[in-house]
């Protein structure tokens, strides 16, 4: 029973009618009135006073109810809804904690077994050492020592492994051995597991994730709870291309049923290469599906090598044959529904076949955990949520349809990056500089998606696709920070004329080739579309603005839209790959629209050490504890970020007409080289070790200049508004207190076109930017039309009176997202000579609309 703020409460009589007690009297609602109110509640859960009066006028059945009574009804209805959601959430958390507790108990048992095993081995080796010492003093005959070991081998031990060949009995023998070895890794002590850096088990975590230590190849293990039955889990995990983005294909070559209701499958699997610097991998596998005595479902796999005398698969050109050691999935039904799943991925990716600088990518258990093991768990959790909470999101599309779009973007980018000949790709001759590789594809299967008619009736003229790609090494810039900058500041590297050409080429032609020009960009607005549960990946639509002057000779809609997939922007995720992939789409956004993706992929190279990656943000936080000399900042920078290495791969695709191949290839090379130069420039600016070494960059946060600016801001606020901005003592804490102030504080220059020069953490969050990118944002850009008019009319008041107060309004972030604020204050910041240094704005109680 919910009690309203006005002392009213609601209940139901025995007939199910709703009653509300107001001033000691119960008000009875008819079922029809309750139904009408429920319908109105789903349309607007919190109606205003005017809206409630409008509801009474529009719905005659409610005419005999006072507005105050309807207000109380809505209050109680919201309270019940909140209680119901909270109860459901607590039940889900309780189920997950119960399952997590079970997993932790099992992990504790495994560790106890491992300790016992180590104690036993220690005792055994000690005895062996003592026996060897005794033998050395009693018998110096080498022959007696060598032959003594042979007398212990019995005929049964010499023939303990049955024949392993292509026969059903031989394959079953291999399968049973694979099952035993997999279970010893999943729940036993066959591999020494250590906790994944940065992963902490808990009710909100993905599960318990561990990586191998000191074993052959790279391995990762995860245990988690998913709200799907074991059969469904196995079905999803077997369909590896649906959730493992690096998987190109899985071909089932043969299927053999076993006597225990199990299945043996022979598989040929191909994986994409993550960069242009190394070949792709393939696997020849045996997969064994069976049910254990306790009802658990097991799917395990291993490579079929020649040493096992099993069936063989010829080596494919342009692929390196990798090895999968016993791996798989142990899926157990969970009490109360769902499944507890153990995942083990153990591979030898043949790192000898790649350049030495790239070997950390193929020797990192952390990278395998992120891209494979945790990807499987995340996908299962995503499917489970969609099943339990079916909904239509993202421009009227269901989650499965949006997942399919994400897959098409990722797969198209990987295909272009790898350029396999069996998909129709062929390489063009170099122009004398080998930094950019160009491939062309004119196969019918590739062009089927491009040769479409659009709503305007014009068919596409393009009949081929060209891809220009390159990879390069980066130093001292975390992938997440660089990718976030590329996403938020497209104008730093993109050319609007190229975007316009790419959009027109897949829509309706003909169109002329553009000439790439540096800094040639209009503007962008990011429209969120969908995101995964943990927000590690999100799909969005990019609207490119101010494109009218690029369409003089192009038959295309007035607006240009890009479908964009972004992942890996979390700096705390260890060994995570960061990707930004996008493709021009038609304004109709039809499901069968052509998608020709381009983009960036940044992979950390330091993850091979399996140690936490640097965690750094482009703000003042890392320097707030710095003393007067700043020694601590320089030391942290060198130890945390000085050794950060990564490889970035860039690939851009262009649809074109075959007779323009030479011109398009020249344009693509020039454009990609320009992007490479832009990325290098941005990476240099974002590199923490470069701050202070370039005259064009501002002093690092936490420097004496930053402390001085913070003091000027507070002194000027006190001077003009007669109040204290901060509650702190001493100059040393002013900067820190200002940085953590809950309201957004931003400073802009006094130029003819004011640009922002400083912001605290709340200000950066509000503008959705970083300190480095802040100086590219002008003051007028964050206000709408009415805000600009108010600012222009009131700006002279700031210069004359020294301050100005703005009532509640709307402003915009650098991403184009609307922001509401309760009120804003602007004041003139004076320096030591009492000259105007800048204008400071404070937005109070702001929030995204």
Q: Average pLDDT, whole number, for the chain? A: 78
CB 345 within 8 Å of CB 246: no
Encode 204-221 in three state secondary structure. CCCCEEEEECCCCCEEEE
**Picking from 304-318, 345-359, 754-768, 776-790, which range would have the lowest pLDDT averaged per residue?**
304-318
Instruction: Read off the DSSP letter of residue 429.
Output: P
Residue 339 has pLDDT above 50, yes or no: yes
302-306, 394-398, 512-516, 657-661 — most confident range? 657-661
Question: Exposure pattern of 806-820 as b/e (b: 16+ CB <10 Å)?
Answer: beebebbbbbbbebe
Task: State mean pLDDT over 723-737.
Answer: 75
Cis peptide before 216 (omega within 30 of 0): no
Q: Could you tell me where the beta strands, DSSP code E, fall in 568-709?
A: 578-585, 598-604, 645-656
CA distance 742 to 801: 26
From the number of C-beta atoms within 10 Å of its C-beta (0-12, 13-18, 19+), residue 309 rates as middle
> What digits encode the pLDDT tens for the residues 441-479?
987 666 554 444 433 333 455 688 999 999 999 988 889
Give pLDDT, residue 649. Answer: 96
At residue 663 the predicted structure's pLDDT band, cuts being 50, 70 and 90, is: very high
> For residue 437, what are its two tokens?
């590789």
pLDDT for residue 266:
94
Bridge partners of 830? 836
Higher pLDDT, 48 or 679: 679
pLDDT greater at residue 393 or residue 550:
393
61-75, 264-278, 707-721, range with greatest mean pLDDT: 264-278
Report the distance separating Cα 266 and Cα 430, nearest Å. 41
DSSP string across 632-649? HHHHHHHHHTTT-EEEEE
pLDDT at 615: 35
> What Å distances lie between residue 83 and 1, 88, 389, CA to CA?
10, 9, 18
Residue 618's pLDDT band (cuts 50, 70, 90): very low
pLDDT value at residue 202: 55
Query: pLDDT band at residue 154, thresholds of 50, 70 and 90?
Result: very low
* DSSP secondary structure letters along 188-201: SSSS-EEEPTT---
Which strands, in side-by-side order, build the sheet including 523-531? 425-427, 437-441, 464-475, 645-656, 598-604, 578-585, 560-567, 537-545, 523-531
Q: Are 686 and 482 in contact (CB under 8 A)?
A: yes
| DSSP string covering 231-249 | HHHHHHHH-GGGT-TTEEE
Q: Is the pLDDT of residue 102 over 90?
A: no
> What distance in Å separates the CA atoms of residue 562 and residue 589, rounded to the nearest whole number?
10
pLDDT in tens, 799-815: 888 888 888 888 888 77
Q: Which of 1-10, 306-315, 502-511, 523-532 has the highest mean pLDDT?
A: 523-532
Percentages (nearest 5) of helix, strand, coil residues in the chain: 40, 25, 35
Highest mean pLDDT among 165-169, 204-208, 587-591: 165-169
What's the pLDDT tens digit per position in 539-555?
A: 998 888 765 554 444 44
How far apart are the C-alpha atoms of 491 and 813, rounded to whole Å? 16
Within 8 A by CB and 6+ apart from 204, the residues are none
Predicted confidence band of residue 158 (pLDDT cuts 50, 70, 90):
very low
In the chain, DSSP finds a helix count (H) and a strand count (E) of: 21, 31
Q: What tokens appear for 552 in the block?
A: 């003089």
**Rounded distance between C-alpha atoms, residue 290 and residue 69, angstroms:** 62
């Amino acid at each position: 029973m919910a009690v309203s703020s006005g002392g009213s409460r609601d209940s139901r009589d025995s007939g199910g009618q709703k009653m509300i007690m107001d001033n000691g009297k119960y008000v009875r609602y008819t079922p029809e009135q309750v139904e009408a109110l429920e319908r109105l509640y789903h349309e607007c859960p919190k109606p205003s006073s005017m809206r409630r009066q409008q509801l009474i006028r529009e719905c005659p059945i409610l005419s005999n109810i006072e507005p105050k009574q309807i207000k109380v009804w809505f209050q109680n209805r919201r309270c019940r809804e909140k209680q119901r959601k909270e109860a459901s959430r607590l039940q889900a958390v309780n189920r997950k904690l119960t399952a997590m507790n079970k997993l932790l108990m099992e992990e504790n048992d495994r560790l106890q077994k491992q300790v016992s095993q180590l104690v036993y081995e220690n005792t055994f080796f000690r005895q062996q050492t003592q026996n060897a010492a005794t033998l050395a003093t009693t018998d110096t005959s080498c022959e007696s020592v060598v032959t003594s070991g042979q007398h212990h081998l019995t005929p049964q031990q010499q023939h303990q492994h049955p024949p392993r060949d292509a026969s059903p009995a031989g394959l079953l023998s291999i399968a049973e051995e694979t099952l035993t070895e997999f279970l010893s890794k999943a729940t036993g002590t066959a591999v020494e597991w250590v906790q994944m850096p940065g992963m902490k088990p808990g009710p909100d975590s993905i599960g318990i994730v561990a990586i191998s230590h000191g074993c052959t190849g790279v391995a990762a293990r995860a245990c988690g709870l998913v709200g799907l039955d074991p059969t469904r889990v196995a079905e999803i995990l077997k369909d590896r291309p649906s959730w493992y983005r690096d998987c190109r294909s899985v071909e089932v070559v043969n299927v053999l049923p076993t006597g225990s209701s199990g299945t043996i499958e022979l598989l040929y699997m191909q994986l994409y290469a993550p960069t242009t610097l190394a070949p792709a991998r393939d696997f020849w596998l045996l997969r064994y599906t069976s049910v254990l005595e306790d009802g658990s479902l097991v799917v395990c796999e291993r490579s079929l090598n020649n040493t096992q005398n099993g069936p063989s698969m010829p080596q494919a050109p342009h692929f390196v044959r990798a090895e999968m050691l016993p791996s798989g999935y142990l899926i157990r039904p969970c009490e109360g529904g769902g499944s507890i799943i153990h995942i083990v991925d153990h591979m030898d990716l043949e790192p000898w076949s790649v350049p030495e600088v790239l070997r950390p990518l193929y020797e990192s258990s952390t990278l395998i955990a992120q891209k494979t093991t945790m990807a499987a768990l995340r996908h299962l959790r995503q499917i489970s949520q969609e099943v339990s909470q079916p909904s239509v999101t993202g421009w009227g599309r269901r989650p499965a349809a949006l997942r399919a779009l994400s897959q098409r973007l990722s797969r198209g980018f990987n295909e272009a990056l790898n350029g396999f000949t069996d998909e129709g790709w062929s390489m063009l001759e170099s122009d004398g500089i080998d930094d950019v590789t160009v491939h062309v594809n004119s196969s019918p299967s590739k062009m089927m998606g491009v040769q479409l008619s659009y709503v305007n009736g014009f068919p596409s003229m393009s009949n081929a696709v060209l891809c220009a790609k390159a990879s390069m090494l980066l130093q001292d810039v975390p992938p997440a920070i660089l990718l976030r900058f590329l996403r938020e500041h497209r104008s730093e590297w993109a050319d609007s004329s190229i975007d316009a050409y790419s959009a027109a080429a897949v829509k309706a032609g003909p169109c002329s080739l553009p000439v790439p020009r540096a800094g040639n960009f209009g503007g962008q607005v990011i429209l969120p579309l969908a995101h995964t549960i943990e927000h590690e990946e999100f799909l969005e639509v990019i609207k490119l603005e101010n494109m009218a002057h690029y369409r003089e000779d192009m038959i295309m809609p007035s607006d240009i839209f890009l479908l964009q997939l972004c992942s890996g922007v979390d700096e705390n995720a260890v060994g995570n790959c960061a990707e930004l992939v996008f493709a021009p789409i038609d304004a109709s956004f039809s499901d069968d629209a052509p998608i020709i993706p381009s983009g960036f992929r940044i992979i950390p190279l330091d993850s091979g050490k399996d140690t936490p990656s640097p965690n750094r943000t482009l703000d003042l936080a890392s320097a707030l504890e710095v003393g007067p000399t700043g020694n601590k900042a320089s030391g942290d920078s060198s130890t945390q970020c000085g050794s950060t290495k990564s490889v970035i791969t860039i690939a851009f695709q262009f649809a074109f007409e075959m007779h323009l191949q030479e011109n398009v290839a020249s344009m693509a090379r020039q454009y990609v080289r320009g992007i490479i130069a832009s990325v290098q420039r941005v990476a240099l600016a974002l590199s923490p070790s470069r701050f202070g070494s370039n005259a064009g960059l501002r002093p690092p946060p936490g420097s004496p200049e930053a402390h001085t600016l913070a003091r000027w801001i507070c002194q000027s606020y006190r001077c003009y508004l007669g109040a204290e901005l901060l509650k702190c003592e001493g100059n040393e804490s002013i900067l820190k207190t200002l940085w953590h102030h809950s309201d957004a504080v931003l400073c802009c220059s006094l130029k003819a076109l004011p640009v922002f020069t400083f912001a605290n953490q709340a200000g950066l969050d509000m503008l959705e930017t970083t300190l480095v990118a802040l100086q590219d944002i002008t003051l007028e850009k964050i206000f709408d039309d009415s805000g600009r008019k108010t600012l222009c009319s009131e700006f002279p008041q700031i210069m004359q009176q020294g301050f100005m107060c703005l009532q509640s309004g709307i402003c915009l972030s650098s991403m184009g997202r609307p922001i509401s604020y309760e009120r804003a204050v602007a004041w003139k910041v004076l320096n030591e000579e009492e000259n105007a240094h800048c204008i400071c704005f404070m937005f109070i109680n702001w929030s995204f609309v």
